[in-house]
């Protein structure tokens, strides 16, 4: 009998945990920056700020650390964007395809203009 109620409690806890995970609020970068800057201003305590915003203090401190590290990297001259290798490869291949498309259209445009005037020169 205890195993049945124990398993139903575990199932209920698992269900509640999944619901909380799916309904968890996600914060945009702007919201995170706003919250971190409010904490850095020091107008109110971090615990009061976190209570007002509905976040855990540990989450605030991790955002604050990321914010300060990004600022330090930027000020030290690290201008490189953190892009993944596959993302860079995709962007390069897309760029190459677009350049080829522009080249083809330019050539076609010149040929059309040449056929319209009979020479290589065209009037505007």
Q: What is the Cα–Cα distance from 58 to 96, expressed in whole angstroms? A: 45
Q: Is the pLDDT of residue 17 over 80?
A: yes
Query: What mean pLDDT do residues 12-22 have?
Result: 84
Q: Kindly list the distances between the CA atom of residue 89 and the CA atoms of 37, 79, 92, 95, in Å, as whole numbers in the listed order.
A: 36, 19, 5, 10
Q: Is the pLDDT of residue 103 over 70?
A: yes
Q: Is the pLDDT of residue 107 over 70?
A: yes
* Cα distance between the two ends of the chain: 92
Cβ count near 33 (within 10 Å): 13
Domain ranges of the chain: 1-82, 83-124
The larger pLDDT score, comparing residue 122 to residue 49, is at 49
Closest CA to 66 of 56, 58, 42: 58
Secondary structure class of 55 (helix, strand, coil): coil
């Amino acid at each position: 009998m205890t195993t049945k109620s124990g398993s139903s409690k575990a199932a209920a806890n698992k269900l509640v945990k999944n619901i909380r995970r799916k309904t968890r609020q996600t914060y945009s970068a702007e919201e995170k920056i706003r919250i971190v800057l409010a904490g850095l201003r020091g107008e109110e305590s971090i615990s009061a700020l976190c209570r007002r915003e509905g976040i855990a203090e540990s989450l605030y401190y991790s955002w604050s650390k990321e914010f300060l590290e990004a600022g330090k990297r930027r000020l030290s001259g690290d201008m490189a964007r953190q892009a993944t290798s596959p993302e860079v490869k995709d962007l390069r291949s897309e760029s190459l395809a677009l350049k080829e498309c522009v080249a083809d259209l330019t050539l076609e445009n010149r040929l059309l203009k040449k056929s319209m005037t009979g020479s290589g020169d065209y009037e505007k």
